[in-house]
Amino acid sequence: MQVRLPDGEPVAVGRYGRSQEEVTAAEAVCLIRELGYRVLGWEVFLPRAVARGEVRQVRAVRQVAGWRYFPGAHGVAPCVCAGCVQPGTYGSRRLRERRPHPVDGPAPASRVLLARLDRAEARVDTAALRDTLRLYGLRRRGPVERFAPLAAHPDAGIRQELTRAVARWSTPGADPPPAAPAGDADGEVRLSVAEAAAHRRTRAADLLLAALGRDPSPAVREAAVEGPVACGTPAAAAVLALLADDPDASVRTAAALLTEE
């Protein structure tokens, strides 16, 4: 659609996906013409409705004009993070296997991770052990009995990573997370347990969250109520009622807001 505007008409001009500059219509035309072959992706915005008398011509545009993702995308390696490539979409598995993301995976096969776990434990390499547990967290299942001894590991980071790893597993026995659930000495571990249990809609998870609702740490008590409400678990109402009279003001405020929602 071709539109004729007064030269002094205020418009905004800029490249697709970036900030725009406020100029006049004449200045926008001059800027676009000066770009030459670099004009791909540039747009002009008119911050008002177009009047009928301003439309001069309507014509069909060839379908080969434009781009598929963004100007200059051809030849650029695609991003394979979990935000850009959703699992289950067309071609996502092949793309993620060809270009694995350092954080979002996909994780190697379970037998490969088990071998890494054995080597890390033999070398007492806590960094390698945490990284292996993080990769196991990207999988749907894992050998719970193999990881159970790590619940007593002296490193709190290992216990915390173990809790995060098994949080979304569908393996029988992964509920509740095997990380000394309500009695770990480290508050950050108990916080991770509260966040992990929120993903479980079982009686065991409800009992665990109810116990964490009495935790000495306000952050753990708050997580014990926020997680169930966000995930819609049966424990939500019980934990909300428990924390309505919490001694910590921030926890009471969070419980009140969640109750209203």
Per-range mean pLDDT, top range of 28-32, 135-139, 178-182: 28-32
Q: What is the pLDDT of residue 26?
A: 95
Give the chain's mean pLDDT: 83
User: How far apart are alpha carbons 114 and 27 in whole angstroms?
Assistant: 64
User: pTM of the predicted model, to two decimals?
Assistant: 0.59
Average pLDDT over residues 59-64: 81
Calculate the CA 127 to chain-centre distance.
23
**Are the C-beta atoms of 87 and 34 separated by less than 8 Å?**
no
Model confidence band, residue 21 (pLDDT cutoffs 50, 70, 90) = very high
Model confidence band, residue 7 (pLDDT cutoffs 50, 70, 90) = very high
User: How far apart are alpha carbons 39 and 41 in whole angstroms?
Assistant: 6
pLDDT at 28 over 90: yes
Structure tokens at 192: 């991770």
90-104, 165-179, 195-209: least confident range: 165-179
Q: What is the pLDDT of residue 179?
A: 47
User: How far apart are alpha carbons 17 and 213 in whole angstroms?
Assistant: 45
Q: What angle, rounded to 10 degrees, do the helices at 110-123 and 126-136 form?
A: 160
pLDDT at 185 over 90: no
Structure tokens at 146: 């193999």
Per-range mean pLDDT, top range of 11-25, 89-103, 223-237: 11-25
Structure tokens at 84: 């850009």
Query: What one-character DSSP code corresponds to residue 150?
Result: G
pLDDT at 225 over 50: yes
End-to-end CA distance of the chain: 47
Q: Give 101-139 pLDDT, tens digit per residue.
A: 888 888 888 889 999 999 999 999 999 999 998 888 888
Structure tokens at 247: 């001694």
Q: What is the pLDDT of residue 233?
A: 66
Closest CA to 71 of 29, 25, 28, 18: 18
**Are the C-beta atoms of 107 and 136 separated by less than 8 Å?**
yes
Q: What is the pLDDT of residue 29?
A: 93
Model confidence band, residue 195 (pLDDT cutoffs 50, 70, 90) = confident
| Portion of the chain with pLDDT greater than 90, in percent | 23
Q: Give 147-172 pLDDT, tens digit per residue.
A: 888 888 888 888 888 888 887 787 77
Query: What one-character DSSP code corresponds to residue 49?
Result: P
Structure tokens at 135: 């990769």
Three-class DSSP category at 193: helix
Average pLDDT over residues 225-236: 67
Amino acid at 187: G
